[in-house]
Amino acid sequence: MTSIASPMPSPVGPSAASSVPASLAPVVLTPPALTPPSSPDSPWWRSAVIYQIYPRSFADANGDGIGDIAGITSRLEYLRDLGVDAIWITPWYRSPMDDHGYDVADFRAIDPLFGTLGDAEALIADAHSLGLRVLLDIVPNHVSDEHLWFRAALTAAHGSAERDRFIFRSGKGATGELPPNNWQSMFGGGAWTRVDGPDGTPGEWYLHLFAPGQPDLNWNNPEVRDEYDDILRFWFDRGVDGFRIDVAHGMIKHPDMPDLDITNIGTGNGVSANMDPAVLGRAGRNDHPHWNQPGIHEIYRRWRAVADSFEPPRIFVAEAWVDQLEWLADYLRPDELHSAFNFDFLVSPWRAGYLRETIENSIAALGAVEAVPTWVLANHDVIRQVTRYGRPQPHGRARRHVGDDPTPLDLVLGTRRARAAALLMLALPGGAYVYEGEELGLWEVEDIPDDLRQDPTFAQSGGTNPGRDGCRVPIPWTADGSSFGFGPDGGTRPWLPQPPTFAGVSVAVETGDPESMLELYRSALHLRTHHPDLGDGPMAWDESHPDVLSFTRGDSFRCVVNISPAAVPLAAYQDILLASAPADDGLLAPDTAIWLSI
């Protein structure tokens, strides 16, 4: 790969002017894209586009206001036709839902809200028959306080085998009334909760880096390691193709559990209330006492052996909010995990310099361990990109903040940029994730009334942080119906209110509209699947204006993204394959991306 950022190249080449249409490039839909084939050189996951399903918000088949497995199954053909290669389903296991499923009470059971184990098995079979692979979500850092292990720990004595599966410590102070250290919960407040001893008097404290209902496990306990091997096998035996690993950098804690130097906090898991994009992914520290401890890698070498013992081998994607791409690459060494979300890309402001640097550094750092980047613009934890990009740049803050966000919001501009960002992401080397609703251009719903907010972040921060509900509002499938087709008409109201404007961005309204976000994603995904130069493989930067990203893939594909405030001329090309906005007279308008054959 070359990397060149230089002034504007010489004017448009001879073939350009004649082949620029006055409107969007015609969309040629090819037959449904199934999962790319695996080859020893490039297994499927190195190029795959994986669609994230947040089950509560996707589709509600039984009309109780909460999405479910039958709802997902009913929409699999939509996903096949969209052109993705696989789905990742966030936790569907039995859970009291303190953190909407990331508090797991039983990994081998489906929560009744979502369905049954039989429903899950049927979904996996149906997805496979449509050519879609299936990833689940494994949550190893913590379980629910309703997990049988934790219940047993609560009634067991200090120093017992039951308590050793978790992180119980005596408190500080004369009577142990102070927490063992100053660690903070990612959702706000302290990370320790004190429990009563068996005799009813206040006793030890347990660690929960997230909600109090999510006690952290002790990964130095061999029983914990064995249990997770077994959970992996349980689902791999049922045909699951891989796992997304929750808080993948968090399981090992410093043996001394020292206080955190809060003047030098690093970034760790970006859920923390004071996250700032200037810090996230750039600064930080390599001695954080509970993130990215070196012992984590031994766990993944063991998991890799489990995944490789299946035929075909299963895969992992890590959710690891580590501060340096080199640290991320450590997780992707050949005997560890397959891929990891590129959150630097997600948090990058809509600025060519930031994006170029992130792309270059990611490819270089991961290439050093023969891994490919996994690009991502959205998920169920961050502000949707239409809203992020609709604010003055550089902004890019992907996390909600106390008291934000007073800056003006322009959703038309945000949508325009999100369209361009999608074409950028899907043209880059490696894999990508699409979060449900991103393909419709959904924005962050920022005006959910406080009394309807559900994310524990809101309550745990004392109402100062709005939490993540705004990106979890149920999907609109139709323009009418009491929940826009999320559930049956007249069913129970969705668990989060949908704004009336969701009617206009429903699947039904966007289908067939050549200017819709949905048709842009469909076209891009189908082109990507069938284009030999896209997905895994090299890229090379072209000479371009510093505020323009221009790169080629192979011999015949070019992506140009104009992030400057003025239209820029396009260099010679053969045809426009796809554009995020009309490209007139050989000029690429601001905040526009184009795919060209050259």
Cα separation of 266 and 255, whole Å? 19
Binding test (CB under 5 A) with Ca ion, winner from 36, 48, 68, 315: 68
The one of Ca ion, ligand NOJ, none whose footprint includes residue 60, by CB under 5 to 8 A per kind, is Ca ion
Per CB under 5 A, does 519 bind Ca ion? no
Rounded to whole angstroms, the Cα distance separating 242 from 356 reads: 30
Query: What, of Ca ion, ligand NOJ, none, does residue 436 touch, CB below 5 to 8 Å by kind?
Result: none
Environment class of 341 (CB within 10 Å of its CB; exposed 0-12, middle 13-18, buried 19+): buried
CA distance 478 to 486: 8
User: From residue 145, how far is each of 106, 168, 222, 275, 577 by CA, in Å?
Assistant: 11, 13, 20, 27, 52
Q: Which of 16, 20, 53, 66 binds Ca ion (CB under 5 A)?
A: 66
End-to-end CA distance of the chain: 18
Instruction: Compare residues 124 and 271 and give the one whose CB is closer to ligand NOJ.
Output: 271
Closest CA to 276 of 456, 418, 400, 446: 400
Please report how close the Cβ of residue 381 comes to ligand NOJ at its closest, in angstroms: 5
Q: Which of 103, 246, 381, 438 is catalytic?
A: 246
HSE toward the beta carbon, residue 104, CA cutoff 13 A: 22
Whole-number Å distance between alpha carbons of 593 and 549: 9
Whole-number Å distance between alpha carbons of 378 and 383: 7
Interface region with Ca ion, contact rule CB under 5 A, candidates 56-64, 277-285, 505-513, 538-546:
56-64
Residue with the shortest CB distance to ligand NOJ = 102
- SS3 for 105-132 is CEEEEECCCCCCHHHHHHHHHHHHHCCC
Q: If DSSP codes are grouped into helix, strand and coil, which group holds residue 376?
A: strand
Q: Which is nearer to Ca ion, 71 or 212 (CB)?
A: 71
Q: Out of Ca ion, ligand NOJ, none, which partner does residue 182 contact, by CB within 5 to 8 A per kind?
A: none
Q: How far is the CB of 216 from ligand NOJ (least distance, A)?
A: 11
Candidates 58-66, 75-83, 118-126, 180-188: pick the segment binding Ca ion (CB under 5 A): 58-66
Q: Which does 68 bind (CB under 5 to 8 A by kind): ligand NOJ, Ca ion, none?
A: Ca ion
What is d(CA 421, CA 419) in angstroms, rounded to the nearest whole number? Answer: 5
Cβ closest to ligand NOJ, residue 246 vs residue 510? 246
Write down the least CB distance from residue 112 to Ca ion, Å.
10
492 binds Ca ion (CB under 5 A): no
Footprint of ligand NOJ (CB under 6 A): 99, 102, 139, 210, 246-247, 319, 380-381
Report the amino acid identity of residue 196.
D
Q: Return the one option of Ca ion, ligand NOJ, none that residue 99 interacts with (CB less than 5 to 8 A, by type).
A: ligand NOJ
At its nearest, how many Å lie between ligand NOJ and the CB of residue 99?
A: 5
- The yes-or-no answer on residue 246 being catalytic is yes
CA distance readout (Å), 283 to 11, 65, 276, 322, 432: 40, 42, 10, 10, 25
> Which span sits near Ca ion by CB under 5 A: 53-61, 94-102, 354-362, 521-529?
53-61
Give the other-Cβ count within 10 Å of 213's Cβ: 22
Which one, of 150, 33, 129, lies nearest residue 73 by Cα?
129
Which residue, 68 or 444, has its beta carbon nearer to Ca ion?
68
Catalytic residue among 60, 204, 319, 519: 319
**Any contact of residue 62 with Ca ion (CB under 5 A)?**
yes
The site that binds Ca ion (CB under 5 A) totals a number of residues, namely 5
CB of 209 to ligand NOJ, least distance (A): 8
Element (H, E) at 530: helix 517-530
Q: Which member of 35, 48, 60, 558 binds Ca ion (CB under 5 A)?
A: 60
Pull the structure tokens for residue 505: 């961005």
With CA atoms as reference, report the closest residue to 292 among 318, 319, 327: 327
**Beta bridge partner(s), residue 568:** 588
* C-beta of residue 584 within 8 angstroms of C-beta of residue 20: yes
Residue 53, contacted partner among ligand NOJ, Ca ion, none, CB below 5-8 A by kind: none
Q: Which of 56, 57, 82, 75 is nearest to 127 (CA)?
A: 75
Q: Which sign does the torsion angle of CA 197, 201, 203, 206 carry?
A: positive
Report, in Å, the least distance between residue 80 CB and ligand NOJ: 25
CB of 243 to ligand NOJ, least distance (A): 13
Residue 210 binds which of Ca ion, ligand NOJ, none (CB < 5-8 A, kind-dependent): ligand NOJ
What's the min distance (Å) between Cβ of 396 and ligand NOJ? 19
Q: Which does 505 bind (CB under 5 to 8 A by kind): ligand NOJ, Ca ion, none?
A: none
Q: Which does 246 bind (CB under 5 to 8 A by kind): Ca ion, ligand NOJ, none?
A: ligand NOJ
Binder of Ca ion out of 15, 64, 116, 395 (CB under 5 A): 64
Stretch that binds Ca ion, among 64-72, 264-272, 289-297, 578-586 (CB under 5 A): 64-72
Nearer to Ca ion, 19 or 116 (CB): 116
Which of residues 60 and 204 has its CB atom nearest to Ca ion in the complex? 60
Closest CB to Ca ion among 115 and 441? 115
Q: Which amino acid is at 313?
A: P
> Residue 79 or residue 247: which is nearer to ligand NOJ going by CB?
247
Q: Are 394 and 32 in contact (CB under 8 A)?
A: no
CB of residue 90 to ligand NOJ, shortest distance in Å: 7
DSSP string, 398-431: -S--TT---S---HHHHHHHHHHHHHHHHHSSSE
> What's the gap between Cα 318 and its chain centre?
10
Q: Packing angle between helix 222-236 and helix 296-308, nearest 10 degrees?
A: 30
Residue 22 Cβ vs ligand NOJ, minimum distance, rounded to whole Å: 44
Write down the least CB distance from residue 59 to Ca ion, Å: 9
Helices 411-427 and 517-530 pack at an angle, to 10 degrees, of: 10
| Nearer to ligand NOJ among residue 246 and residue 519 (C-beta) | 246
Stretch near Ca ion under the rule CB under 5 A, chosen from 68-76, 89-97, 208-216, 501-509:
68-76
Pick between residue 64 and residue 326 the one whose CB is nearest to Ca ion: 64
Tell me 274's DSSP state: T
Q: Which residues here bind Ca ion, judged by CB under 5 A?
A: 60, 62, 64, 66, 68
Residues classed as catalytic: 246, 319
